[in-house]
Amino acid sequence: MELVVDANILVSCLLKDGITRKLMLNNTLKLYTSEFIFIEFFNHLKEIAKKAGIKEKEMTKLTKKLIKKSKICKNLFNF
């Protein structure tokens, strides 16, 4: 199955360890998004981390880990 991931999905999977995160890490799904989503996400990382109650450095680590494990935009970022 192929799915498009938007900014809301990315934020949702980072804020809560729920079904959205499980789906992003499901190897049977092929995930797509635009590079712009990640640019905007990382531009607002401090604000997102604050709302999540997580330190910015930890949010960065978690974000990179989830993106890498989900294989989303594998060619856009070299983590």
Amino acid making up residue 42: F
pLDDT at 75 over 70: no
Whole-number pLDDT of residue 23: 86
Residue 36 lies in domain = 2-70
Q: Running DSSP on this structure, what letter comes out for residue 29?
A: -
Q: Running DSSP on this structure, what letter comes out for residue 2?
A: E
* 76 within domain boundaries: no
Whole-number pLDDT of residue 57: 92
* 79 within domain boundaries: no
Q: Among residues 23, 10, 13, which one has the least CA distance to residue 73?
A: 10
* 20 within domain boundaries: yes
* 28 within domain boundaries: yes
pTM: 0.67
Q: Residue 33: pLDDT band by 50, 70, 90 thresholds?
A: confident
